[in-house]
Amino acid sequence: MERGGGGGGGGMDALPDGVVQHILSQLSSARDVAACAGVSRGMRGCVPFLPALYFPRGAFDAAGGAAAADDAIGRMVEAAARLEELVIYCPFSAARLPRWLAARSASLRVLELRMDSAVSSGAGSGHLDCIGAVANLEELRLWGLTMTRAPAWGQLERLRVLEIVGAAVRDVAVNGAVGACPNLTDLALIGCECSGAVAMTLPLVERCRLDFVGSGNCSLALAAPLVESLEIQGFCWISLQGGIRLKHLTIAKNTGTGSVYNIEIGKLPELEKLSLRGVQWSWGAISSVLQCAREVKYLVMKIEFCGDHDTLEPFPEVDLVDFFNSHPKLIKFEIHGAMFAAMCQKNSLKNLDSRFSIPCLEEVLITVRSPLNAELKLNTLESLVKYSPRMRRMVVRISQMKNCHGSADGFFEEICKFMYMNNGRVRIE
């Protein structure tokens, strides 16, 4: 691209300011902005009109690391007078952050920071207090930080989206951070190490993901009357107030010690999809959720064991007729080995008669991990097909079954016969 030269001018410098501003509005990467500024004096003059700046990881590795990054970020942020979005993934000095945010506090709407370098240099949550000065902030995303106390943000009234990823936090810090954002519509705390008691009141939240990891036990008390999508991972005790608009609910406990001991939740009349996952749940917690989710259409149950304490126990016997009569709108059903085995016990089919029907069930995915009680399992599979007039597909997934078990070959042979008898509807994986 030629630069303007001589008296006539030309190239990029000959473009109208409006065109140059439009070109810059399509850029966000600091590398691209710097390249354009090097091409044209007009481009350099339009840097104040930049709406977004993005500093990727490794952007300043060749130039000297964090020190070079601090200088470049500072110059560009101070020059971009209309900056609305600032994303910093490269290492930087957290001590510089208050100055940058103060310079653009009036215009900034979206802020995303990777705090890995701040954590490694010993910076805690204190440097993040300056976020409270950005009164017009609408979206905030923070990665890799440590929060040992509640941040001094005041009230971020305009904040609608809050995401914190890969953080080591204390329960008081989580409660304080969320409490400072009373008008959130989207909340995501992902891969956060935390223990203790988390309590949140989210009057406007519609989408919420709370994914906690770590070895400690953690409880959750959540009030969210407008929530439509809720994912919860890592809590042993859960209390949910308000769920009448909830359409998608996932509860899991795949990490740490302990099981899901107790769940208190009201009726879920709008629930479409429910997913229960984990190594160990108490049967009381499972029953509580299922009783509140009678209108569910898509149910996933992947829980390995029952038990209220450290002892892993099998599931109690489940009456197949009662189960499906309690969930008459079920269209799609995924069930893991242990729970399926609970439906294949001696008395599970005792209430079957010609009047029984599973009216809406269309798809079933069943994971079988043991050939024990083969006859009862086959009877259950046959009953699901027989009493589901709308059944289109059943997938039987054989998983981690030991071939050395004496009855494994016979069980697999019977499963294959069952598939051939229901050709087109039953498939084995």
pLDDT at position 390: 96
Dihedral of CA atoms 398, 399, 403, 408 in degrees, nearest 10, equals -40
Cβ partners under 8 Å of residue 310, min gap 6 = none
Residues of the chain with pLDDT under 70: 1-47, 59, 61-66, 117-126, 400-406
Short-list 100, 161, 160, CA closest to 131: 100
Short-list 219, 221, 124, CA closest to 179: 221
pLDDT at position 345: 85
pLDDT at position 248: 98
Q: At CB < 8 A and 24+ separation, what contacts does 202-206 make?
A: 202/178, 202/227
pLDDT at position 61: 67
| 371 touches 407 (CB < 8 A) | yes
Whole-model pTM: value is 0.87
pLDDT at position 123: 44
Token representation of residue 108: 């900034």
Token representation of residue 354: 């010609």
Token representation of residue 378: 């086959």
φ, ψ dihedrals at 367, nearest 5°: -100, 120
Q: Quick check: helix, strand or coil at residue 18?
A: helix
